[in-house]
Homo-oligomer: A and B are copies of this chain.
Amino acid sequence: MSDYPSQILEQAVNQMASLPGVGRRTALRLVLNLLRRNEQDVDAFANAFIRLKHEVVYCSVCHNISDTAMCPICSSSRRDHATICVVENVQDVMSIENTGQYTGVYHVLGGIISPMEGVGPKDIQVDSLMERVASGEVKEVILALPTTMEGDTTNFYIYRRIRNLEMPEMPKISQIARGVAVGNQLEYTDEITLGRSIVNRTEFIA
Protein backbone atom coordinates (compact mmCIF):
# COMPACT_ATOMS: atom_id res chain seq x y z
CA MET A 1 0.00 0.00 0.00
CA SER A 2 1.35 3.39 -0.94
CA ASP A 3 0.08 6.53 -2.68
CA TYR A 4 -2.26 7.74 0.02
CA PRO A 5 -4.81 10.25 -1.30
CA SER A 6 -4.01 12.53 1.66
CA GLN A 7 -0.75 13.31 3.46
CA ILE A 8 -2.63 13.87 6.70
CA LEU A 9 -4.14 10.39 6.32
CA GLU A 10 -0.72 8.94 5.59
CA GLN A 11 0.75 10.56 8.72
CA ALA A 12 -2.06 9.14 10.85
CA VAL A 13 -1.49 5.69 9.32
CA ASN A 14 2.27 5.99 9.97
CA GLN A 15 1.62 6.77 13.63
CA MET A 16 -0.88 3.91 14.01
CA ALA A 17 1.54 1.51 12.30
CA SER A 18 4.27 2.55 14.78
CA LEU A 19 2.44 0.45 17.40
CA PRO A 20 4.00 -3.02 17.82
CA GLY A 21 2.25 -5.72 15.79
CA VAL A 22 0.13 -3.27 13.77
CA GLY A 23 0.80 -3.50 10.02
CA ARG A 24 0.11 -0.72 7.52
CA ARG A 25 -3.10 -2.29 6.19
CA THR A 26 -4.50 -2.76 9.68
CA ALA A 27 -3.36 0.76 10.58
CA LEU A 28 -5.30 2.18 7.61
CA ARG A 29 -8.42 0.27 8.67
CA LEU A 30 -8.11 1.56 12.26
CA VAL A 31 -7.49 5.15 11.12
CA LEU A 32 -10.50 5.10 8.78
CA ASN A 33 -12.58 3.77 11.67
CA LEU A 34 -11.47 6.81 13.71
CA LEU A 35 -12.30 9.13 10.81
CA ARG A 36 -15.91 7.88 10.84
CA ARG A 37 -16.34 8.98 14.48
CA ASN A 38 -17.34 12.51 15.46
CA GLU A 39 -14.76 15.16 16.40
CA GLN A 40 -15.47 14.89 20.11
CA ASP A 41 -14.80 11.15 20.13
CA VAL A 42 -11.57 11.47 18.13
CA ASP A 43 -10.36 14.22 20.47
CA ALA A 44 -11.15 11.99 23.47
CA PHE A 45 -9.26 9.13 21.81
CA ALA A 46 -6.16 11.23 21.18
CA ASN A 47 -6.22 13.14 24.47
CA ALA A 48 -6.31 9.90 26.49
CA PHE A 49 -2.75 9.17 25.32
CA ILE A 50 -1.50 12.75 25.79
CA ARG A 51 -2.96 12.74 29.31
CA LEU A 52 -1.43 9.32 30.00
CA LYS A 53 2.06 10.50 29.09
CA HIS A 54 1.83 13.88 30.85
CA GLU A 55 -0.05 12.92 34.04
CA VAL A 56 0.65 9.29 34.87
CA VAL A 57 3.48 8.75 37.35
CA TYR A 58 5.38 5.76 38.69
CA CYS A 59 4.81 4.88 42.36
CA SER A 60 7.75 6.18 44.40
CA VAL A 61 7.86 2.92 46.38
CA CYS A 62 7.13 0.03 43.99
CA HIS A 63 7.44 1.77 40.55
CA ASN A 64 4.01 0.55 39.46
CA ILE A 65 2.01 2.94 37.24
CA SER A 66 -0.08 5.27 39.39
CA ASP A 67 -2.19 8.44 39.33
CA THR A 68 -0.65 9.51 42.65
CA ALA A 69 2.90 9.69 44.03
CA MET A 70 2.26 6.46 45.95
CA CYS A 71 0.12 3.77 44.27
CA PRO A 72 -3.13 2.45 45.82
CA ILE A 73 -1.47 -0.86 46.78
CA CYS A 74 1.50 0.76 48.55
CA SER A 75 -0.90 3.23 50.23
CA SER A 76 -3.26 0.54 51.49
CA SER A 77 -3.29 -0.34 55.19
CA ARG A 78 -4.99 -3.64 54.30
CA ARG A 79 -1.95 -4.99 52.43
CA ASP A 80 0.91 -6.90 54.03
CA HIS A 81 3.85 -4.51 53.61
CA ALA A 82 6.33 -7.10 54.96
CA THR A 83 5.93 -9.25 51.81
CA ILE A 84 7.26 -7.93 48.49
CA CYS A 85 6.53 -9.69 45.21
CA VAL A 86 9.18 -8.80 42.59
CA VAL A 87 7.82 -8.68 39.01
CA GLU A 88 9.11 -7.61 35.62
CA ASN A 89 6.37 -5.19 34.58
CA VAL A 90 2.99 -3.57 35.19
CA GLN A 91 1.02 -6.31 33.40
CA ASP A 92 2.44 -8.87 35.86
CA VAL A 93 1.08 -6.86 38.81
CA MET A 94 -2.36 -6.82 37.19
CA SER A 95 -2.22 -10.56 36.44
CA ILE A 96 -1.32 -11.43 40.04
CA GLU A 97 -3.92 -8.99 41.42
CA ASN A 98 -6.55 -10.71 39.28
CA THR A 99 -5.86 -14.05 40.97
CA GLY A 100 -7.08 -12.57 44.27
CA GLN A 101 -4.49 -14.81 46.00
CA TYR A 102 -1.94 -12.17 47.04
CA THR A 103 -2.23 -9.64 49.83
CA GLY A 104 1.35 -8.33 49.95
CA VAL A 105 2.92 -5.46 48.02
CA TYR A 106 4.95 -5.38 44.79
CA HIS A 107 8.22 -4.20 43.32
CA VAL A 108 8.18 -3.55 39.56
CA LEU A 109 11.68 -3.92 38.11
CA GLY A 110 10.68 -2.40 34.76
CA GLY A 111 12.64 -5.09 32.89
CA ILE A 112 14.94 -8.02 33.50
CA ILE A 113 18.67 -8.44 33.10
CA SER A 114 19.43 -9.35 29.49
CA PRO A 115 23.02 -9.05 28.24
CA MET A 116 21.76 -9.89 24.74
CA GLU A 117 19.54 -6.80 24.71
CA GLY A 118 22.02 -4.67 26.65
CA VAL A 119 19.90 -4.52 29.82
CA GLY A 120 22.11 -4.57 32.89
CA PRO A 121 21.35 -4.39 36.64
CA LYS A 122 21.63 -0.57 36.53
CA ASP A 123 18.82 -0.36 33.95
CA ILE A 124 16.22 -1.95 36.24
CA GLN A 125 14.90 -0.96 39.67
CA VAL A 126 17.12 -3.20 41.85
CA ASP A 127 18.75 -0.50 44.00
CA SER A 128 15.40 0.76 45.29
CA LEU A 129 14.41 -2.85 46.07
CA MET A 130 17.56 -3.19 48.17
CA GLU A 131 16.66 0.03 50.04
CA ARG A 132 13.23 -1.42 50.84
CA VAL A 133 14.73 -4.71 52.04
CA ALA A 134 17.50 -2.94 54.02
CA SER A 135 14.86 -1.07 56.02
CA GLY A 136 14.47 -4.32 57.99
CA GLU A 137 10.68 -4.35 57.76
CA VAL A 138 10.54 -6.93 54.97
CA LYS A 139 9.96 -10.53 56.03
CA GLU A 140 9.72 -12.19 52.58
CA VAL A 141 10.74 -11.40 49.02
CA ILE A 142 8.84 -13.45 46.39
CA LEU A 143 10.59 -13.65 43.02
CA ALA A 144 7.91 -13.81 40.27
CA LEU A 145 10.03 -13.33 37.15
CA PRO A 146 9.66 -15.21 33.85
CA THR A 147 11.04 -18.77 33.61
CA THR A 148 13.70 -17.81 31.08
CA MET A 149 17.47 -17.53 31.17
CA GLU A 150 17.06 -13.77 31.73
CA GLY A 151 14.57 -14.39 34.54
CA ASP A 152 16.91 -16.92 36.19
CA THR A 153 19.86 -14.51 35.88
CA THR A 154 17.85 -11.69 37.46
CA ASN A 155 16.59 -13.98 40.24
CA PHE A 156 20.13 -15.00 41.09
CA TYR A 157 21.41 -11.38 40.96
CA ILE A 158 18.69 -10.20 43.36
CA TYR A 159 19.29 -13.19 45.65
CA ARG A 160 23.01 -12.35 45.88
CA ARG A 161 22.36 -8.64 46.46
CA ILE A 162 19.98 -9.42 49.33
CA ARG A 163 22.42 -11.94 50.86
CA ASN A 164 25.15 -9.26 50.74
CA LEU A 165 23.06 -6.79 52.76
CA GLU A 166 24.35 -8.37 56.03
CA MET A 167 21.25 -7.61 58.05
CA PRO A 168 20.67 -8.90 61.60
CA GLU A 169 17.64 -10.89 60.36
CA MET A 170 17.56 -11.88 56.68
CA PRO A 171 14.22 -11.92 54.85
CA LYS A 172 12.99 -15.21 53.38
CA ILE A 173 13.53 -15.38 49.60
CA SER A 174 11.02 -17.50 47.66
CA GLN A 175 9.99 -17.94 44.07
CA ILE A 176 6.61 -18.73 42.51
CA ALA A 177 5.96 -22.46 41.98
CA ARG A 178 6.97 -23.96 38.63
CA GLY A 179 4.88 -26.91 37.54
CA VAL A 180 2.29 -28.33 35.21
CA ALA A 181 -0.32 -25.67 34.44
CA VAL A 182 -3.84 -26.38 35.67
CA GLY A 183 -5.79 -28.13 32.90
CA ASN A 184 -2.66 -29.19 30.98
CA GLN A 185 -1.95 -32.79 29.89
CA LEU A 186 1.25 -34.31 31.27
CA GLU A 187 2.27 -35.65 27.84
CA TYR A 188 2.30 -32.14 26.37
CA THR A 189 4.30 -30.59 29.21
CA ASP A 190 7.99 -30.00 28.54
CA GLU A 191 10.48 -32.22 30.38
CA ILE A 192 12.05 -29.47 32.48
CA THR A 193 8.70 -28.28 33.81
CA LEU A 194 7.54 -31.85 34.46
CA GLY A 195 10.85 -32.71 36.14
CA ARG A 196 10.61 -29.72 38.44
CA SER A 197 6.98 -30.48 39.26
CA ILE A 198 8.08 -33.90 40.55
CA VAL A 199 11.08 -32.62 42.51
CA ASN A 200 9.00 -29.82 44.04
CA ARG A 201 5.93 -31.94 44.72
CA THR A 202 3.59 -30.71 47.45
CA GLU A 203 1.57 -32.58 50.04
CA PHE A 204 -1.73 -33.92 48.69
CA ILE A 205 -4.61 -32.44 50.63
CA ALA A 206 -7.90 -34.21 49.98
Contact = CB atoms under 8 A, between A and B. Distances in A.
Interface of A: 1-9, 11-12, 14-16, 18-22, 25-26, 28-35, 37, 39, 42-56, 59, 64-67, 71-73, 89-91, 93-95, 97-98, 187
Given A46-B49, A52-B12, A3 B97 contact: yes
A42 B19 CA distance: 11
- Could you say how many copies of this chain the assembly holds? 2
A80 B190 CA distance: 59
Closest CB pairs A-B (n = 3): A46-B46, A42-B53, A15-B48
A65 B47 CA distance: 24
Contact of A8 (B11, B19, B67): B67
Nearest to A74: B5
Contacts of A12: 48-49, 51-52
A94 B155 CA distance: 51
B33 A19 contact: yes
Nearest to A95: B1
B33 A20 contact: yes
A6 B50 contact: no
A65 B5 contact: yes
A24 to B, nearest CB: 11
Contact of A47 (B35, B39, B46): B46
Contacts of A66: 5-6
Contacts of A42: 49-50, 52-53
A5 B89 CA distance: 12
A8 B55 contact: yes
Contacts of A26: 21
A125 to B, nearest CB: 14
A94 B4 contact: yes
Contacts of A21: 26
Contacts of A5: 59, 64-66, 71-73, 90, 93-94
Contacts of A7: 67
